[in-house]
Amino acid sequence: MTDLATRPAPLLLARAAPALLGYAAVRALGLVALAVWSAARDKSAHTLLTARWDSLWYVRVADLGYGYEVRLPNGDVHSNLAFFPLLPWLERAVSAVTPLSYADAGLVVSTLASLAAAWGIFAVADHVYGPRVGVCAVLVWAVLPVGVVQSMAYTESLFTALAAWALYAVLTGRWVTAGTFAALAGLTRPVGLAVVAAVWVAALAPSFAGNRSAPVRDRSAPEPRSVPRPSGAPVWRRALGMLLAPAGAAGYVLWVGHRTGGGPLGYLDVQAGWRNGFDGGYAFARFVADKFTSFPSALAGVGLVVGVGLVLWLYVVGVRQGQPLPLLVYTGVVVALALCASSYFGSKPRLLMPAFSLLLPLARALAALRTARSAPILGAVAVASALYGAFWLNGSGPP
């Protein structure tokens, strides 16, 4: 089988076309459901997508720069320094060359980024397991219950796109490209740390792809295939990729520390103002435990336990199926940061969204089915996801 890494971009795009068309169809269904549901509640779907929650903070950064903050009655300080700069930069750039507002520019960026993310997810899954699994992986990512966030002026789609292409570059031995994408991911969200970790581990363990004669095998995979080992690259390319990878996140964090006078750890002080931190999951465990103090909320508690169990089970399955080391490292860090953060528990589902490699076992299982069986399953889940997304965004939505 010809290594996909040697194919030019137009051929890779043509190969990904079925996945991208399917992804666009799912997202279109979600937007139609949102528009209808919002109209029935006399709300604006456009406002829900562009001007609520974090999207407002990104627009303020694009419009006013950094320095805006809100002081709450309890003494907490919510500073816009908590929000990384790449999305606001892109919003400002798009708005500068079009008649779009910053909010609408953010929606354009998110829409294009979601397609780039779908393409990147396909590229990774196709490289490891083949095109059928690649298509299924994209569709499963699209039909996530909180998939509507992919269409919002948020950073999830942008970050996932950069992370997926960084991982694809790692898997194909393009170390400078991987480092560049990792640096950009680090300018997008704090979880860019996960991409940096994947690049570093892969660069330091060049045999991560395993033995060519030992293909990844699983009964759920329709066509087991070996994961090609990236071709040998000069040491300086690996080193340069490693140096580039943390540049984005480190540069922004150090700049925040200098601006606030808090030194290298000043960004942590900014996050503390939002009551964000990393406590190993203690606060989240207490939050879940508190749900079992009364009967109605106990059902939510059961749902949370099942959800966390499913995430951990999918990760273990990925390990047992022999996913490449960079994917496992990336996913592990994303999951750890999402589940072990000490605040904003309602945001955890969207914080887990970039961990697309968690979905590969499900994609492999679907790919093993005949299309006549997998298509109705995905169709039904897509409808349910669209309806839930419309309900959720018209209600509590993603904090």
Element (H, E) at 29: helix 9-40
Question: Using CA atoms, how far apart are residues 224 and 272, in angstroms rounded to an integer?
Answer: 47
Q: Return the pLDDT at 12.
A: 79
pLDDT digits (tens, 9 = 90+) for 195-210: 999 999 999 986 654 3
Would you state the pLDDT for residue 147? 94
For the chain, the structural domain boundaries read 4-393
At residue 263, the pLDDT reads: 87
3-class DSSP state for residue 216? strand
Q: DSSP assignment of 57-126, as one string? A: HHHHHHHH-S--EEE-TTS-EEEGGGS-SHHHHHHHHHHHHSS--HHHHHHHHHHHHHHHHHHHHHHHHH
Instruction: Identify the segments of the chain with pLDDT beneath 50.
Output: 1-2, 209-224, 226, 228
- What per-residue confidence (pLDDT) applies to 207? 62
Give all strands (DSSP E) within the chain, no chain letters: 69-71, 77-79
